[in-house]
Structure 1
Amino acid sequence: MTPFAPLLDAIASEGSAALVTLPRTAGSSPRDTGAWMVVRPSGRFNGTIGGGALEWEAIRHAQDALKKAQLAFAERSHALGPDLGQCCGGRVWVRIETFDQRHIEELRALAKATPRQYIVARPGTDGRIARRIAPVGEDPNAIADDEYIETFDERPTTVLLFGAGHVGRALVLALAPLPFAIRWIDPRADMFPKAMPQNVMPIASDDPSAEIDAAEHDAFILVMTHSHALDFEIVAKAIAAQRFPYVGLIGSETKRARFEHRMRDIGLTQEMIGKLVCPIGIDAIEGKLPAIIAASTAAQLLIAREHRRTRS
């Protein structure tokens, strides 16, 4: 998630807001490069750069910059131990930028960036950070010498979630604050709620399994449609592709056994079939309530994401 929508909300309610980011970290720090928070004149804030003395100092400086209507960005370096008495022992660089009504159109444009796009930034001649959304397909290595790719938190992992039933809805809510970009797919357009989290793109498709062909090579696949036949079509296609690090199917051990038998019948090997996650979720978390299944599955996805990151 990027900070631009929260900035717009803050300006709409209080007239101005400050963006606090960590453009650089070194050694042990409570958050990594790209962590952010949006601070309002009242002191209310969204996001976090790590809590403790670091965060409260940043809020104080951000409120001061807003009070002074400071336009140029400011940057400070903190040794967490000597400067702030925190035990992490590393060093962080804290950047503060302020925004108000004059920047609404700029922020609205940046808020439209999708998870598959990236934001290119550079220090502007006016003392502010100039940003643009890179076109889809632009080579990140082709940006100008004075530009850099700006990351906010971690780049999200794409999840293709097939099925907008009770568990699908609960899972969307469980994944809302987590580093995932969700393509929520169901042929029944009326099953999607009118309001949904920022990291969710609803897709009403008459051919849901076609989404597998267009999916990113390292996307996570979660299948929980209203139809076992459709479940099988999607799962078999995803397993056969052999390029997705996580393919999960809601269901019991009995459903898994039946699907395994059918996948062998169409020529999938046992090694390929063995990569199917079914039942989904963490074994130690029991319960059939949608919210419990969603929490357990969200934890499993986070584990799979970390496993993929450490192996890459």
Structure 2
Amino acid sequence: MHSTDRQVLDAVCRWADAGQRFALVTVARTWGSAPRPAGAWMALREDGVVRGSVSGGCLEADLIERMQAGEFTAGAAGVPVVQAYGVTQDDARRFGLPCGGRMDLVIEPRPDLGALRTLAQRIARGELVQRSVTLGEPGNRIAAGTAGDRVRWDGRTLSTPHGPAWRLLIVGAGQISSYLAQMAQALDYQVFVCDPREAYAAGWTVPGSTIVAGMPDDVVLQLKLDPHSAVVALTHDPKLDDMMLLEALKSPAFYVGALGSTVNSQRRRERLLQYFDLTQAEVDRLHGPVGLPIGSRTPPEIAVAILAEMTAVRNGVAPHVATFLAAAAAPQTPAAAAPAGA
């Protein structure tokens, strides 16, 4: 639950300023084929308006009905409570949950507005934050988070991570990088950009991203890449791209890619093996040409191809590369395009 955080928080802040009452609903735990994961978040206004989602539509109607009946906002306490759905087969059929699906929702009838505003401010600054609520106790706690945080629920206290859960280091501040940075932010990446070429770095204008000074290899070490990190080299300058790869391929980053044609990518692999302290297994981690070969030519299309491959790797889904390559190698019409990294 990250990309919707700002949308939900912006909505509840507006509702609070307008004097409207609302509740927050969070998926605490799921069993079986639940439609939304733990941590999914929804704000529910007293008149039935919602932001976010906890079930993709299965449970929202029931929650809206109960909210409009005053069930969640009645009483003076307004402390967090838990509501289970899908406990019985009849319950699952009634609410349209998949077979075997079950969910625990934590409902906050009167969330702490001050804490929510603080949360919104810290997320806007690109910070990772942990928010905790306890059943039967008013208010919530906001604390610094880390990239490895997960939703935690012990049946009484629910802790959820907020802010960018993933990091992306882009080497090169050119046009492709600009599109990639903007798209990546929409997918919950905290974006860092490194380009020692002053002419490029000076022209970087993507809001929310961070320019990191230094040479690419030093920046990789400085950021201490973890399994929630990705690195993409887009300078098309071997002197800079290879510097990044020397360190990134040794790191636990889940994705390391570099722009270049098929021929240049093969030469890069040979060069990394022959002249640098990298093993075959480390070099094999390199995604190059970077991105799925979907026929992209323009900078935004190449950015889409890169993010598509990153998403597949991130989700543990092996893209059908052979199919893509076969399509890319087939005779093309004039409107067709080359693979992404060409």
Q: Report the TM range for the smaller structure's normalisation.
A: 0.7 to 0.9
In terms of mean alpha carbon deviation, does 46-55 or 80-89 score higher? 80-89
Residues 108-119 of structure 1 aligned to structure 2 (within 5 Å): 108-111=117-120, 112=122, 117-119=128-130
Count of equivalent residues: 297
> 1:4 & 1:69 partners in 2: Cα distance?
28
1:81 to 74, 86, 92: 92
- Separation in 1 of the partners of 2:173 and 2:109? 39
Cα offset, 1:60, TM superposition: 3.9
SS at match of 2:33: coil
Partners of 1:244 and 1:83 in 2: CA distance = 44
Q: Using the alignment, how far apart are the partners of 1:139 and 1:271 within structure 2?
A: 29
2:7 aligned partner: 6
Answer yes or no: is 1:52 the counterpart of 2:52. Answer: no
Superposition deviation, residue 99 in structure 1: 5.2
Residue 171 of structure 1 is matched in structure 2 by 180
Q: Which residue of 1 aligns with 2:79?
A: 72
> Which residue identity does 2:51 align to in structure 1?
N
Q: Which residue of 2 aligns with 1:220?
A: 230
Superposed CA deviations along residues 24-66 of structure 1, whole A, max 9, x for unmatched, are: 2222200121111233455443322222231232344445467
Deviation at 1:151, TM superposition (A): 2.6
Matched, 1:247 2:248: no
Higher relative contact order (CA 8 A, sep 6+): 1
Q: 1:262 to 1:194 in 2, by over 3 A?
A: closer
| Greater alpha carbon shift after TM alignment, 85-94 vs 1-10 | 1-10
Which runs of 5 or more residues in structure 2 are unaligned? 318-342
Q: Does 1:27 align with 2:37?
A: no
For residue 140 of structure 2, give the secondary structure of its aligned residue in structure 1. strand
Pair member with larger Rg: 2
Root mean square deviation of aligned Cα: 3.8
Do structure 1's residue 206 and structure 2's residue 214 form an aligned pair? yes
What's the TM-score once normalised by structure 1's chain length?
Answer: 0.77
* Cα distance, 1:22 vs structure 2: 0.7
User: Equivalent residue for 1:282?
Assistant: 292
- Residues 146 and 208 of structure 1: is their aligned pair in 2 closer, same or farther, counting only changes over 3 Å? same
**Closer, same or farther: CA 220–152 of 1 in aligned 2, 3 Å:** same
Distance 1:91 1:269, change over 3 A: closer
Counterpart selection for 2:108 from 75, 80, 97: 97
Q: Residue 175 of structure 1 aligns to which amino acid in structure 2? A: A
**Letter of the 2:103 counterpart:** V
Q: Which segment drifts farther, 6-15 or 86-95?
A: 6-15
Q: Secondary structure at the match of 1:52?
A: coil
**1:287 & 1:110 partners in 2: Cα distance?**
39
Paired letter, 1:247 = V
Structure 2 residue aligned with 1:191: 203
TM-score (norm 2): 0.71
Q: CA deviation at 1:189?
A: 4.7
Which residue does the alignment assign to 2:134?
123
Asked whether the 8 Å contact 2:169–2:231 carries over to 1, the reply is: yes
Alpha-carbon deviation of 1:212? 1.0
Partner AA of 1:77 in structure 2: A
Equivalent residues of 2:167, 2:190 under 8 A apart: yes
Which deviations, in whole Å up to 9, do the C-alpha atoms of 1:105-143 show, x marking residues without a partner? Answer: 312332316888452524276x33521314769999xx9
Q: Aligned partners of 1:88, 1:154: CA distance in 2, in Å?
A: 32
Listed one character per residue, the Cα deviations across residues 78-115 of structure 1 (whole Å, up to 9, x for unaligned) are 11524413334311122222457xx4431233231688
